[in-house]
Amino acid sequence: MKCGIDEYEASTRLHLLVKDVHNLPEGLRIVVNFDKHHAVIGEAARLLAGARIFFKVSDNLAKRFLLQSLGKKWREHRIKLWNDFYDPRLSKTEIINNAPEDIAPDQWALFVEYRLKLETQKLCKRNQEIRQKQIIPHTSGAKSIARRMAELVIN
């Protein structure tokens, strides 16, 4: 059960799936709550893919959360781009010439230069080795630690 708020800040209870977020009535927003550590909690946390969100915190906290979320998504996208377009059998020039259609050639060239730098490759290899040494697997699923802690406090 989620809480919604209209343009007059009147609250209402909502039963939504993620796909329903884009079909909300005009003016209705989903309330997003944060814990004392400024992490998103509650049922609305999984609906943040939608565009009609009302943050019950200051603008600075909402901005911080959104920038962190965008940063994470950008990092994941960069990794996917590299995995999709990098071929170790190709030369640097060939990789640069094989730029994705939606990325400017000069930006792709800078990205390839960065990824092929010796320091970057050493860092990636070091991080890979560190990840392999982790003996406790991540088993908490998609739910954030903040949401799990908030549920424990409530129950």
Any idea where the domains of the chain sit in the sequence?
1-71, 86-133
Q: Give the pTM.
A: 0.52
Left if phi > 0, otherwise alpha if psi is -120 to 50, otherwise beta: which for 130?
Answer: alpha
Tens digit of pLDDT at every position of the chain (155 positions): 455 555 556 666 766 666 666 677 777 777 777 777 777 777 766 666 446 566 666 778 878 888 888 888 889 999 999 999 999 999 999 999 999 988 889 999 999 999 999 999 999 999 999 989 988 877 777 777 888 888 887 66
**Contact in structure between 109 and 96 (CB atoms under 8 Å):** yes
For residues 34 and 56, give the distance between their C-alpha atoms in angstroms, rounded to a whole number.
8
Structure tokens that stand for 65 in this block = 């959360």
